[in-house]
Amino acid sequence: MDFNKTRYIPMSRRRRIYEGKAKVLYEGPEPGTLIQHFKDDATAFNAKKHQVIEGKGVLNNRISEYLFQHLNDIGVPTHFIRRLNMREQLIREVEIVPLEVVVRNVAAGSLSQRLGIEEGTQLPRSIIEFYYKNDQLNDPMVSEEHITAFGWATPQEIDDIMALAIRVNDFLTGLFLGIGIRLVDFKMECGRLFENEMMRIIVADEISPDSCRLWDIKSNEKLDKDRFRRDLGGLLEAYTEVAKRLGILMENERPAGSGPVLVKS
């Protein structure tokens, strides 16, 4: 199927499949596809803290598109097909594995709090952690034993997820290093893609400053959602800086905060 020729469906005629804290999923134009819409909502601590920041969804859509397309190009399978407009992507429909996969390169956030490691300490090697996706339980950290015992994923799926996490981390670390940004850690999600009675694990959801900790290499300035979590201000400016360094925005360009605008492929 040529996904580049799929028809565009106006939002008013779509069936909503799911709405999360930062995105909405709509039924796609073809079987096996969804439309992923990026909202301007900024949330932290499982939505206990919430604010609408105009333009955030546009930046996350553009940054996630850029990163997922490059992952596709190097052979890392993702759900991303193409960007539809300033706020939306066409994606493959997957069965989400109910786990958040966190890859840590530098001590920060909950790792520093749990283990008493000073924030900013380079870890001896990258660490992969699993968290059960459940907002009511505050996404508890779980072990591989928990995952297999409760049937959230099989041992083979865990191996596949970890292999993807390592590849994504290697790619992102090098990419961000090249633009003067330190990849401290990031969260990713995976899904089961069913094709012709076959199933494979692929990268899903998004990769953006919402799901990564990104620090400027020289100043350690935070260029991610910690600016919102910690009341530092300047979240939109930080995301814009990341987009500019990636070459997504021109130096004097600002993200448009308005609704969808079709993009020709």
Q: Which domain holds residue 166?
A: 96-216
pLDDT tens digit sequence for 44-83: 987 789 999 999 999 999 999 999 999 999 999 999 999 9
Judge if 30 and 53 occupy the same domain. yes
In a domain, 256, yes or no: no
In a domain, 224, yes or no: no
Judge if 106 and 208 occupy the same domain. yes
Task: Say which residue, 255 or 161, is predicted with more confidence.
Answer: 161
Of 257, 125, 104, which Cα lies nearest the Cα of 184?
104
> Does pLDDT of 257 surpass 60?
no
The per-residue pLDDT for 46 is 77
End-to-end CA distance of the chain: give it in Å, rounded: 16
Displacement of CA 227 from its chain's centroid (Å): 17
Judge if 101 and 89 occupy the same domain. no
Judge if 17 and 40 occupy the same domain. yes
pLDDT tens digit sequence for 169-205: 999 999 999 999 999 999 999 999 999 899 999 999 9
Q: Which region among 11-25, 50-64, 158-172 has the lowest average model confidence (pLDDT)?
A: 11-25
CATH number at residue 59: 3.30.200.20
Burial 4-32 (b: 16+ CB within 10 A, else e): eebeeeeeeebeeeeeeebbbbbbbbeee
Judge if 100 and 86 occupy the same domain. no
Judge if 8 and 50 occupy the same domain. yes
Judge if 84 and 104 occupy the same domain. no
In a domain, 257, yes or no: no
CATH number at residue 150: 3.30.470.20
The answer to whether the Cα torsion of 265, 92, 202, 207 is positive or negative is positive
pTM: predicted TM-score of the whole model, two decimal places: 0.91
Judge if 187 and 127 occupy the same domain. yes
